[in-house]
Amino acid sequence: MSVKHTQQIACLKCKKKSDFEFYGSINTMLDPTLKQRVKNFDIFKFICPHCGSEQFVNYSFLYHQMEDKLMIFYCQDEEEVAKVRSLYADDFDTALNAQGESETIDTTGYRRRIVIGADNLVEKIRIFDAGLDDRLVEIYKVLLYGQMQAELAAMPGGDAVDDVFVDEQLDGSLNFVFVADGRAVGAVAFSQDVYEVIANQYRDAVERLAPTEPVINQDWAFDILAQIAQEV
């Protein structure tokens, strides 16, 4: 089940206190409407009833897509990531029960991830909903990142790419968006053919080197590619 509690928070604008609903865990199979509220960031949205100011409230919770055996632990900072990593590595089932999840859950075959940032949480959901392996997608992103960096460097006044993220189009298709100085500077459509080539080349090594790693991002992809290169 989803676990929530109501707590008073102060508006950043008018400073008056109002109730806000915090979720400790979100189970999308038992509460399917919450999935869209996560994807459109409504779960973080606070609208002050006194002054009408809209604000983003960042807080930690467990996102449990039970129907797909997926759990994503949403954290606020690296310190919390370290704590969650240690907690769930030691005793996964007991830690789940502490989050309010049922003792009857069979956690065999579950994919566990830890993320910081609402954008990264939503990106993970998009990737898994598309039936993709996020580890291979992160490698895909790194390879595209290098390609785009080279192309922009060759252009007069070209910006350096800061980030690459997976976006979902209105028709449900995915593409990669390149960001520089906080703005989108380019996009490339996701290619299933390229993904399969990457899977054929890297999947076995990824399974061997990082079968249970919960923090999967571009830093991880750079590191795993370096490890693979050293073995060649």
Q: What's the average pLDDT block by block, 10 residues per block, for the chain (232 residues)?
A: 92 98 95 96 97 97 95 95 81 56 69 95 97 97 86 65 91 92 88 98 96 94 95 76
Residue 206: per-residue pLDDT:
97
Beta-bridge partners for 165: 177
Whose tokens are 């954008």? That residue is: 119
Phi, psi angles (nearest 5°) of residue 71: -130, 130
- Quick check: helix, strand or coil at residue 218? helix
Assigned token pair, 116 = 């910081």
What one-letter code names the amino acid at 194? V
- Quick check: helix, strand or coil at residue 55? strand
Which residues 6+ apart lie within 8 Å of 71 measured at CB? Answer: 62, 63, 64, 65, 96, 110, 111, 112, 113
Give the Å distances, CA to CA, from 12 to 41, 47, 202. Answer: 19, 11, 47
Give the Å distances, CA to CA, from 196 to 25, 73, 130. Answer: 34, 28, 14
- Quick check: helix, strand or coil at residue 19? strand
Assigned token pair, 60 = 């930690």
Residue 92: per-residue pLDDT:
57
Cα gap 40→116, rounded to integer Å: 17
Nearest to 206 by CA among 130, 142, 115, 124: 142
Under a CB-based contact definition with an 8 Å cutoff, are residues 227 and 164 in contact?
Answer: no
Q: Within 10 A of 35 (CB to CB), how many other CB atoms are there?
A: 19
Nearest to 41 by CA among 138, 123, 127: 123
Find the DSSP H helices in the chain: 33-39, 78-90, 92-98, 118-129, 134-153, 192-209, 218-231
Under a CB-based contact definition with an 8 Å cutoff, are residues 20 and 46 in contact?
Answer: yes
Assigned token pair, 196 = 């399969």
Cα gap 18→55, rounded to integer Å: 13
